[in-house]
Amino acid sequence: MTKFVDLHLCAPFRNVEQFKKMVTKSFELGYRSVGIPLPPNVELDEVQCLRKICSEAGLDFVSRVDITPKNTQELLANLSRLRRKFEVVSVLCTSKPIARQAAKDRRVDVLSFPVAKPRNRFFDSAEAELASESSSSLEIDMASLLSLEGFLRIRLISSLRREVAIAKSFRVPVVISSGAANDYLLRDPHDYSALAMLFDMDSSLAFKALSEVPLCIVERNRLKLSSDFVAPGLRVVRRRDP
Amino acid sequence: MIRRVKKRYLALKIESVESFDEEDVKDVVWSAVIQLFGEYGASQVGLFLVQYDRERKEAVLRCSHKALPMVQASIASVTKIRDKPVAMHVLRISGTLRALKKKLNDDLLV
What's the CATH architecture for A4-224? Alpha-Beta Barrel (3.20)
User: How close B22 comes to chain A (CA, Å)?
Assistant: 20
The 3-state secondary structure of A22-44, one letter per residue? HHHHHHHHCEEEEEEECCCCCCH
Answer whether residue A103 shows pLDDT above 80.
Answer: yes
Set out the domains of chain B in order of their start, with CATH numbers. Answer: 7-104 (3.30.70.3250)
Amino acid at A213: V
- B72, B79, B86 member nearest A191 (Cβ): B72
Closest-CA residue of chain A to B78: A146
On chain A, the residues whose CB falls within 8 A of the CB of B28 are none
Backbone angles phi, psi at B80, to 5 degrees: -145, 145
Q: Which residues pair with A91 in a beta bridge?
A: A67, A111
Residues of B in contact with A192 (CB under 8 A): 76
Nearest to B107 by CA among B9, B11, B3: B11
Nearest to A83 by CA among A218, A225, A194, A213: A225
Radius of gyration, alpha carbons of chain B: 14
A230, exposed or middle or buried, with CB in 10 Å at 0-12, 13-18, 19+? exposed
**B109: pLDDT strictly greater than 70:** no
* Contact across the interface for A197 and B73, Cβ inside 8 Å: yes
User: What is the pLDDT at residue B106?
Assistant: 59
- Which one of A145, A182, A190 has the shortest CB-CB distance to B90? A190
- CA B4 to chain A, closest CA, distance in angstroms equals 25
Q: What is chain A's mean pLDDT, rounded?
A: 91
Question: Which residue has better confidence, A242 or A27?
Answer: A27
Give the DSSP H or E segment for A53. Answer: helix A44-56
Q: Does the pLDDT at position B107 exceed 70? A: no
pLDDT at B108: 52
Q: b or e along B15-49 (b: 16 or more beta carbons within 10 Å of the residue's beta carbon)?
A: ebeeebeeebbbebbeebbbbbbeeeebeebbbeb
Q: Establish, for the pair of chains A and B, how many residue pairs have beta carbons separated by less than 8 Å.
A: 46
Residues A176, A112: Cα–Cα separation, whole Å: 11
* Alpha carbons A9 and A94: distance in angstroms, whole number: 21
Question: CA of B109, closest CA in chain A: separation in Å?
Answer: 23
What CA–CA distance (Å, rounded) separates B48 from A179? 32
- In the predicted model, is pLDDT for residue A108 greater than 60? yes
Residues of chain A contacting B, Cβ within 8 Å: 29, 145-147, 182-188, 190-192, 194-195, 197-198, 203
Q: Is residue B110 very low, low, confident or very high in pLDDT (cuts 50, 70, 90)?
A: very low
> Is A167 in contact with A129 (CB distance < 8 Å)?
no
Arithmetic mean of pLDDT, A93-110: 93
Region A116-121: mean pLDDT is 77
- Give tens-digit pLDDT for A169-223: 999 999 999 999 998 999 999 999 999 999 999 999 999 999 999 999 999 999 9
A198 CA to chain B: closest CA distance, Å? 8
Pairing type for strands B87-94 and B7-15 reads antiparallel
The DSSP code for B106 is S
Region B9-29: what's the mean pLDDT? 92
Q: Which residues contact A110 (CB under 8 A, 6 or more apart)?
A: A7, A88, A89, A90, A91, A136, A137, A138, A139, A175, A217
Instruction: Write down the ipTM of this complex.
Output: 0.88
Q: Give the mean model confidence (pLDDT) for residues A55-60.
A: 93
How far is residue A204's CA from residue A86's CA, in Å, rounded to a whole number?
Answer: 29
pLDDT of residue B24: 92
Query: Phi, psi at residue B60, to the nearest 5°?
Result: -125, 125
pLDDT of B10 above 80: yes
Run of H or E residues at A98: helix A96-104
Alpha carbon of B2: minimum distance to chain A alpha carbons (Å)? 29
* For residues A77-106, average pLDDT: 93
User: Do A190 and B72 count as a contact with CB atoms less than 8 A apart?
Assistant: yes
Residue in B15, B76, B79 closest to A191 by CB:
B76
Sorted by sequence, the CB contacts under 8 Å of residue B15 that are 6+ apart come out as A183, A184, B57, B86, B87, B88, B89
Q: What is the pLDDT of residues B29-87, one digit of tens each?
A: 999 999 999 999 999 999 999 999 988 899 999 999 999 999 999 999 999 999 899 99
What would the mean pLDDT of B13-41 be, rounded to a whole number?
Answer: 93
Predicted TM-score (pTM) of the model is 0.90
Instruction: Please report, as a single letter, which amino acid is at residue A144.
Output: S
